[in-house]
A and B are shown apart, each in its own frame.
Chain A
Amino acid sequence: MIDVTNLQVTLGDKTILKNIHFHVTAGEFIGLIGPNGSGKTTLLKTIAHLIASKNGNIKIAGKDQKAFSHKEMARHLSYVPQDTHIDFNFNVKEIVSMGRHAHREFLQPSPADDEIIKEVMVATNTWRFRNNSILNLSGGQRQLVFIAKALAQDAPIILLDEPVSALDIYYQMHILKLLKTLTSRGKTVVTVLHDLNLAARFCEKLLLLRNGQVEAYGRSNEVLTEERLKETYHIDAKVRQDKLIQALNVTPL
C-alpha cells in the first residue's frame, strides 16, 4: 500500500531523513516511534506529500505520489495532524463533512455524503454532539472529530500524528481500539505514537526512527529490545511480556 524507497528529506540545509526504506501492506497497523527530533512527523508528512522529498520515492497504492492530483491523493490517503486547534466556530458535523470534499464534483455534493458522514460519526461516537461547536469540545472529543473527518474522506490509508498523546486514558483506549477496528476492516493505519506500551499493545508493526534513519522495523518483540532502547532512547529499561493484555511492556528503570 505504501512503498518508501531510499527516501531523503532536507529542510533548509538540515537533513531530516535519509536512506528510508520500508513497505506497508494493506490492512496493517503501523506505529511510528522514536525519540523527539528523530523525524517521525516529517516522515508522516512526507508520505502525505505535505513535504517534498529530496531524493527517493514514495508509492501510494503502486503509483508515485507526485503523479497524484490533490483530490486523487485525498481519495487515497487521509491525514490527522497533531495540531487540531481551530479558532472558528464550526459545529462538529460541519467539520466532519469537510472530509467529503475530495468526493465532490464542482458545486455538487455526492449523493452518498450524508449517509457516510452519519456512519463515521456514529462509529467514532461523535454523532451525539454533532450540533455542538468545535470550540466547546474537550481535547479528546476534538481529536475524535478530526478522526471522523479523516474517516469521512473514505481513503484506504489513514495517517495520524500523535493522536493520543494529549488525551486521558479513556480516550487513548477509545481511539486506539477504534483504529484497530478500522484495520480489521481493511484500512491501513500509520500513526506516530510516543507511548511505547500503547504502541506495542495496539500496533501490528513498529517502525523505530533514530536520527532520521530506520533503526528497526518489525513486530514489537523484534523492535523493542532492551539494547535497542538503550541505544536509541538512552534509557535502561526492562522489557517484559504482560500476561494480562498479551503485549510487551517497557518499564524504564
Chain B
Amino acid sequence: MNKLTVKWKRSRVFKTTITLIMMTIILAVAFIVGVSLGPISIPFKETIMIFLHKLQLTNYAGFTEQQWVVITEVRLPRVLVASFVGAALAVAGVAMQGLFRNPLVEPGYIGVSSGAALGAVSAIFFGWSAINEWFLPLSAFIGALFAMFVILLVWRATNQRSIAVLLLLGIGVNSFFSAVMNVLVATSKNEQELRGIVFWLQGGLEARTWEHVLIISIPITLGIFILFLFGSQLNMMLLGEDHAKTSGINTRVTRNLVLTVAALITGAAVAVSGIIGFIGLVVPHILRLAVGPDHRLLLPASALGGAAFLIFADLISRMVIQPITLQVGVVSALIGAPLFVFLIIRAYKGVSL
C-alpha cells in the first residue's frame, strides 16, 4: 500500500525534474544558436569557447577579436534580454490565467502591456527618460500597474464579473492607450523621438545593451521567483474562489500579490522590448498540453519555455529575410497568432484547454 503512494510521489518529482531538465536543454540550445547565428555567423565551437572565456572558466583564445566583440557586446545582451522578457511574459500569462481561471487571459489582453508601453512612450515624449536611465522602466511599470488597476476597478463594479466583460474592457483600454500613443506620435517633434515611440509600439530587441539586461534582470528574476511560490495557491484558485478560500487560501492577498507581481514583470519586460504579444498566451498553452495544469511545474516550465520561444522568434526576425530585419513583436505574432487559432479550434473540438 505504502509503496504505491511512494511511487506516486516519486513520479511527480520525476516528471517535474525530467520536464525542467528538458526545458533547460531547449533553452541552452536556443541560447547558443541565438548567439552564434546572425549576419556574421560564428561557429558553435567558438561561441561556446567565448562563453567559457567570458565566464572566466578558460583562457583559450581560439576566436578572433571581431567574434569576441560581436558575441559579448552585441548578441549576448540581446539574447539575454530576449530570455528575460520571454520568461517574464510567459510566467505573467500563466499566473493571470490561473487567477482568472481562464486560459485566454494574457497581460496584453487586459491592457497591462499597452499601459506599460504608454508609460514608456510618455517617458520618451516628455523627456523623463533622459534624466535617469531608470525613469523609463519605472514609468513603464507604473503604466502597467495603472492599467491593471483601472481595468480591475471597472471590472469589479460590473455585476457579473465575467471573463468576457474583462476581455471587452481590455479591448477598450488597449484601443484607448494606443490612441493616446498615436497622438504622441503625431505631435512628436523630432525623428529620433518618433523612432523610439514606434519601437515600443511594435516590440523589438534591436540594439539592446548590457544596460538593458541590468535594468530588467533583477525585477524579473525576483518577480518570477515570487510567482513560483504561489504554485499550489494558483492550483486551488483554478477550482474557484469558494474552493480556494475554504481550503485555507487567503484569496484576497494571493490575488493582489500575484497581479501586482505579474504587472511588475510585464512592465519590466515592456520597458526594454516594447509590446510583444502572444508569448503569454501561446507558451503556457502549449506547455499545459504537454505537462498538465499543475502550476508548481507549469510556472518554471513556462519561464524556460518563454525564454526559448522569444530567443527563437528573435533569431527568425534577424535571419529569415535578410537583410531586412523584422521586429520580434511582428515575428512573435506571425508564429503565435496561427498557433493560437489552431489551439482554439482544437479546444472547441472537445479537447480540453
Interface, chain A (partner B; CB < 8 A): 45, 48-50, 69-71, 73-75, 77-79, 81, 83, 86-91, 93-95, 98-99, 101-102, 104, 107, 114-115, 117-118, 133, 135, 149, 153
Measured CB to CB, the nearest residue on chain B to A135 is B352
Measured CB to CB, the nearest residue on chain B to A91 is B292
A103 CB to closest chain B CB (Å) equals 8
Contact B294 A94 (CB under 8 A): yes
Instruction: Tell which of A77, A78, A87, A118 has the most Cβ of chain B within 10 Å.
Output: A87
Contact A78 B1 (CB under 8 A): no
Contact B293 A90 (CB under 8 A): yes
Contact B239 A70 (CB under 8 A): no
Instruction: Tell which of A49, A73, A89, A115 has the most Cβ of chain B within 10 Å.
Output: A89
B285 CB to closest chain A CB (Å) equals 12
Would you mind naming 5 contact pairs between A and B with Cβ atoms under 8 Å apart? Answer: A79-B243, A88-B101, A93-B8, A98-B232, A114-B2
B230 CB to closest chain A CB (Å) equals 11
Q: Give the CA-CA distance A78 to B103 in the complex, in Å.
A: 28
A74-B247 CB under 8 A given contacts A87-B101, A89-B292, A94-B294: yes
- Picked from B238, B248, B294, B353, the residue with its CB within 8 Å of the CB of A102 is B248
Contact A73 B232 (CB under 8 A): no
A79-B239 CB under 8 A given contacts A87-B352, A90-B292: no
Q: Give the CA-CA distance A221 to B30 in the complex, in Å.
A: 73
A101-B352 CB under 8 A given contacts A50-B242, A79-B246, A114-B5: no
Q: Which residues of A have CB within 8 Å of B294?
A: 90, 94
Contact B232 A101 (CB under 8 A): yes
B237-265 interface mask toward A, CB cutoff 8 Å, 1 = contact, 0 = none?
A: 01110110111111000000000000000
B294 CB to closest chain A CB (Å) equals 7
A74-B235 CB under 8 A given contacts A87-B101, A89-B352, A118-B1: no
A149 CB to closest chain B CB (Å) equals 8
Q: Top 6 nearest A-B pairs by Cβ distance?
A: A74-B248, A102-B248, A79-B246, A114-B5, A88-B293, A71-B248
Q: Give the CA-CA distance A22 to B155 in the complex, in Å.
A: 38
Q: Give the CA-CA distance A99 to B5 in the complex, in Å.
A: 16
B302 CB to closest chain A CB (Å) equals 15
B300 CB to closest chain A CB (Å) equals 14
Contact A86 B239 (CB under 8 A): yes
Q: Give the CA-CA distance A75 to B247 in the complex, in Å.
A: 8
A98-B236 CB under 8 A given contacts A48-B246, A70-B250: yes
Interface, chain B (partner A; CB < 8 A): 1-2, 4-6, 8-9, 101-103, 229, 232, 235-236, 238-240, 242-243, 245-250, 288, 292-294, 352-353
Q: Give the CA-CA distance A109 to B227 in the complex, in Å.
A: 19
Q: Is the interface of B mostly helix, strand, loop or mixed?
A: loop
Q: Which residues of A have CB within 8 Å of B236?
A: 98, 101
Contact A89 B5 (CB under 8 A): no
Contact A70 B249 (CB under 8 A): yes
Q: Which residues of B have CB within 8 Å of A114?
A: 2, 5-6, 8-9
A101-B5 CB under 8 A given contacts A86-B238, A86-B239, A90-B292: no
Q: Give the CA-CA distance A78 to B288 in the complex, in Å.
A: 29
Instruction: Tell which of A50, A75, A88, A117 has the most Cβ of chain B within 10 Å.
Output: A88
Q: Which residues of B have CB within 8 Å of A94?
A: 235, 294
Q: Which residues of B have CB within 8 Å of A71?
A: 248
Known: A74-B246, A87-B352. 13 other contacts (CB 8 A): A77-B246, A81-B243, A83-B240, A87-B103, A89-B293, A90-B235, A90-B238, A94-B235, A98-B236, A102-B247, A107-B229, A114-B8, A118-B4
Contact A50 B5 (CB under 8 A): no
Contact A95 B239 (CB under 8 A): yes
Contact A50 B245 (CB under 8 A): yes
Q: Which residues of B have CB within 8 Å of A88?
A: 101, 238, 288, 293, 352-353
A70-B248 CB under 8 A given contacts A94-B294, A98-B232: yes
Q: Give the CA-CA distance A189 to B292 in the complex, in Å.
A: 34
Q: Give the CA-CA distance A94 to B292 in the complex, in Å.
A: 11
Q: Which residues of B have CB within 8 Å of A49?
A: 245
B275 CB to closest chain A CB (Å) equals 28
B158 CB to closest chain A CB (Å) equals 14
Q: Which residues of A have CB within 8 Å of B352?
A: 87-89, 133, 135
A236 CB to closest chain B CB (Å) equals 37
Q: Which residues of B have CB within 8 Å of A107?
A: 229
Q: Give the CA-CA distance A81 to B236 in the complex, in Å.
A: 14
A157 CB to closest chain B CB (Å) equals 11
Q: Which residues of B have CB within 8 Å of A95?
A: 239
Q: Give the CA-CA distance A215 to B293 in the complex, in Å.
A: 45
Q: Give the CA-CA distance A78 to B245 in the complex, in Å.
A: 10
